[in-house]
Amino acid sequence: MSVLLSIIVIVLLSMIAIAYGQGENEQQQWPQLERLTDVSMPNEEKLQAVLKDEKTRARLNKKKKSKEDLKEYREGYQKNQFNQWISDRLSLHRRAYDTREVQCLHEKYLPINILPSVSVVIIFHNEARSTLLRTVWSVLDRSPPSLIKEILLVDDFSDMPHLGYMLEEEVASIPKTRLLRLNERSGLIRAKVVGAEVAQGEALVFLDSHCECNDGWLEPLLDRIKRNRKTVAMPIIDAIEFETWEHRTGLLERGVFDWTLTFNWKMLTEEDNKRQGRTRSIDPFMSPAMAGGLFAIDKHYFFEVGAYDMGMETWGGENIEMSIRVWTCGGRIEAIPCSHVAHVFRKKTPYKFNTEDPQVTIARNLNRVAEVWMDNYKNIYYAIKKNRKYGFGDVSERRQFRKENKCKSFRWYLTHIFYDLYLPHDIQVVGGGSFPSLSCPQDRRPYWKR
């Protein structure tokens, strides 16, 4: 009887693992777990470095600027939409406070010697020197050296003087770092694919060119990928305030979007924790979508799951497309609370698009998402966004990819992954017969509970 009970328990646990999208790797027997190494742990020397750098930052913020300073300050904003004047005066190795929960310091992971090697891919276009190189040094300073195969800087046809020969000389002196220049403006989407194609690591970590990694950021990401190669692992994104350069701790939030396919963040709730079986605040959690700038993924799986839609232009919407694609085609997206990377958030982008009107580019990109992945639900998007007139180009290749890989429906995605994307009300939807629940405008429950 006890043997039969044990078999039943094993079967039930296997069913739960499958329900949560865990791959075959999860069933392997792993070596004994290990604590983080010294490079990823806090110590007195690091604390003193933080205090010193914070003192410098505070002094710069209080300093009365001369005419030359003001000129430089305004020019920096015009080029980057952030306070480049301060960034240029902070150390390229500057430290910020450790934003991890204390529990993370006691967490154990798979041994470093079995974690995948990493190519950190950083795409840049007319980035400020200080933010670009600080991103690079934060990776090198706060990662176990054996895990970093390379840092690949992909220059998307920059034309600012400081990113020419001077950058080549600097990069030549930085360990494990190489520079790849594109001979035409390709846009973030295509530049990422180019970088991934030439990357030599077993895993890819994509970072924006204005980030600062915190201690212990890498091991938790790679641990999840090693356990399940179909996991896309995201760090918690701390904010670097674009004026004062202050670090602000990121919150535990799921990546989401609305019916206009606009990305946003939503606080993790108790209901989310119950659905996912989370018992600790440091446990990884599923996210319906990702912001797209900062994530880790197995290199082979990146291409296996379709990389990016090369019919999209520049940037905009590629994160939504990848989010739906990963989930419906058998992968999963997780946010990892013990991994923190800070990112400069600004009010608007300084980058130019290939088209005269960036909104047209983004509209066409989003239309491609709707046409390939949203089935009849695309009509809700079109009814709200009014983007149909911009077209979407040839999507036959992406539709064929979806068919060949037997990817699940958008309805499945709403039911099992994005369970709190509520159907809108008071809109006229073409083909609305597919959505009878729209006739209940005051009912805000998910459609499958009505």
- State the amino acid at position 356 in one-letter form: E
CA gap 23, 230 in Å, rounded: 7
Please give the backbone phi and psi of residue 218, each rounded to the nearest 5 degrees, phi first. Answer: -90, -45
Reading the block at residue 96, the tokens are 């910020």
In the prediction, which pLDDT does 314 show? 84
Q: pLDDT by residue (tens digit) across 172-226?
A: 999 999 999 999 999 999 999 999 999 999 999 999 999 999 999 999 999 999 9
Query: Measured between alpha carbons, how far is residue 360 from residues 75, 261, 308 in Å?
Result: 28, 15, 19
Per residue, the 3-state secondary structure of the chain, as one string, reads CHHHHHHHHHHHHHHHHHHCCCCHHHHCCCCCCEECCHHHCCCHHHHHHHHHHHHHHHHHHHCCCCHHHHHHHHHHHHHHCCCHHHHCCCCCCCCCCCCCCHHHHHCEECCHHHCCCEEEEEEECCCCHHHHHHHHHHHHHCCCHHHEEEEEEEECCCCCHHHCHHHHHHHHCCCCEEEEECCCCCCHHHHHHHHHHHCCCCEEEEECCCEEECCCCCHHHHHHHHHCCCEEEEEEEEEEECCCCCEECCCCEEEEECCCCCEEEEECCHHHHHHHCCCCCCCCEECCECCCCCEEEEHHHHHHCCCCCCCCCCCCCHHHHHHHHHHHCCCEEEEEEEEEEEEEECCCCCCCCCCCCHHHHHHHHHHHHHHHHCHHHHHHHHHHHCCHHHCCCCCHHHHHHHHHCCCCCHHHHHHHCCCCCCCCCCCCCCCHHHCHHHHCCCCCCCHHHC
Q: What is the pLDDT of residue 347?
A: 77
Query: Tokens representing 3?
Result: 């043997």
CA distance 319 to 335: 15
Which residues, other chains included, contact 119 with Cβ-Cβ below 8 Å and sequence gap of 6+?
149, 150, 151, 152, 199, 200, 201, 203, 204, 205, 299
Tokens of 449: 């509970």
**pLDDT score of 134:** 98
- Write phi, then psi, for 253 (nearest 5 degrees): -135, 145
pLDDT per residue over 32-57, tens digit each? 999 999 999 999 999 999 999 999 99
Per-residue pLDDT at 10: 41
The pLDDT tens digits along the chain (450 residues) read 454 444 444 444 444 343 444 444 555 778 899 999 999 999 999 999 999 999 999 999 999 999 999 999 999 999 999 999 999 999 999 999 999 999 999 999 999 999 999 999 999 999 999 999 999 999 999 999 999 999 999 999 999 999 999 999 999 999 999 999 999 999 999 999 999 999 999 999 999 999 999 999 999 999 999 999 999 999 999 999 999 999 999 999 999 999 999 999 999 999 999 999 999 999 999 999 999 999 999 999 999 999 999 999 888 899 999 999 999 999 999 999 999 999 999 877 776 666 667 889 999 999 999 999 999 999 999 999 999 999 999 999 999 999 999 999 999 999 999 999 988 865 544 433 333 233 333 334 333 343
**Pairwise CA distance, residues 303 & 305, whole Å:** 5
Q: Report the C-alpha gap between 152 and 158 in whole angstroms.
A: 16
Tokens describing residue 284 = 């990884």
Task: Round to whole Å and give the CA distance between 329 and 188.
Answer: 23
The C-alpha atoms of residue 139 and residue 147 are separated, in whole angstroms, by 11
User: What is residue 243's predicted lDDT score, i.e. its pLDDT?
Assistant: 96
Residue 27 pLDDT = 55
